[in-house]
Structure 1
Amino acid sequence: MLTDLKSRFDTAEIAELMSYAVAGDPSALEHAALEYQHNSGLELFGWEDDGLVVGLVGFEETEDGSLELRHIAVLPENRGKGYARGMILELMTQRNPRYVVAETTDESTADFYRALGFMVYSLGDGPNGAEVLRCVYEVEEPEED
């Protein structure tokens, strides 16, 4: 079950998880903290297992009905157990978006999204020279009886 973490961003537990989402970059971690504190449109949820937050997902719902994933991370010792997939599926169930969108420069992260059924498109090279990959999942509309 997803739990709202936005008010807990300044705890060591949540900061550690977010550090994995920003590849350990202290300035990116500080920037993310400020964004979640000051942008009411950004939401941050976590997945708890036996009282421990093992993963988090930060996102924004856009005007076109998309769910834009901003950050996703799972504690290293809990990776490969389906938590990231579970958080994304839970968000799709709760929010019923038209699309789920994420961007990454990491090919293994793009492979994770591909395994979930996302289409992956190259946006070309980003500011740091790394290829930016846009991952898009079109959520199927439920069939009416």
Structure 2
Amino acid sequence: MLICLRDYWNVDAVKDLLALCMMADGEVIGQEINSYNTEDSKELFGCFVDGELAGLAGIIRQSEQALEIRHLAVQTKWRGKGIGRGMITEISRTAGIETITAETDHEAVGFYRSAGFTVTSLGEKYPGVERFACILSVGAAAQSRM
């Protein structure tokens, strides 16, 4: 189950998880958390295991039918246990959502493909860094889970 992190008391745990998926310093990560707390179109959710923040998903509502996963991170010790995929499944059940998009690097392409996303290279978006667009058609994903 995903829980909104807007009022979550352990900001350091949130910062640590965001640091796993952001190449940024503490100040930039703090600004990102602030934007999740103040912008209506953005939400930051957490997945807890035994009371511990094991993963987080940051989303932006693009339209009534589309969400973008802006951040997705799972603590190293909890990886490979279905937490990331579970967060995507929960996000895909958001009422009215037909499409979920994400942008990622080479390291996470396999994860997004295995979660049902179509992955397309965006080329070298930053010097020496290839980025990928990931698109999930929620209706198609639901059919593949049957």
Q: TM-score interval w.r.t. the shorter chain?
A: 0.7 to 0.9
Alpha-carbon distance between aligned partners in 2 of 1:114 and 1:96, rounded to the nearest angstrom: 23
Matches within 5 A, 1:23-42: 23=23, 25-42=25-42
In structure 1, give the amino acid aligned to 2:41.
Answer: G
More displaced, 20-29 or 36-45?
20-29
**Identity level (%):** 33
| 1:99 matched to 2:96 | no
Residue 33 of structure 1: CA displacement? 2.0
Residue 24 of structure 1: CA displacement? 5.8
Corresponding residue of 2:57 = 57
Alpha-carbon distance between aligned partners in 1 of 2:9 and 2:103, rounded to the nearest angstrom: 22
* Alignment deviations for residues 12-44 of structure 1 (CA, whole Å, 9 cap, x no partner): 121111111214643541331232133221001
8 Å CA contact retained: 1:9, 1:15: no
| 1:110 matched to 2:103 | no
8 Å CA contact retained: 1:59, 1:68: yes
8 Å CA contact retained: 1:55, 1:84: yes
Shift in CA distance, 22/29, structure 1 to aligned 2, threshold 3 Å: same
Task: Give 5+ residue unaligned stretches, structure 2.
Answer: none
RMSD: 2.2
Secondary structure of 1:40's counterpart equals: coil
Alpha-carbon distance between aligned partners in 1 of 2:74 and 2:25, rounded to the nearest angstrom: 16
Question: What is the count of residue pairs matched by the alignment?
Answer: 142
Task: Give 5+ residue unaligned stretches, structure 1.
Answer: none
* Alignment deviations for residues 28-66 of structure 1 (CA, whole Å, 9 cap, x no partner): 413312321332210010111111110000001212511
Secondary structure of 1:117's counterpart equals: coil
Normalising by the residue count of structure 2, what TM-score does the alignment of the two structures yield?
A: 0.85
Task: Provide runs of 4+ in structure 1 moved above 6 Å.
Answer: none
In structure 2, give the amino acid aligned to 1:112.
Answer: F
Alpha-carbon distance between aligned partners in 1 of 2:95 and 2:31, rounded to the nearest angstrom: 26
Corresponding residue of 2:129 = 130
Corresponding residue of 2:70 = 70
Alpha-carbon distance between aligned partners in 2 of 1:118 and 1:108, rounded to the nearest angstrom: 15
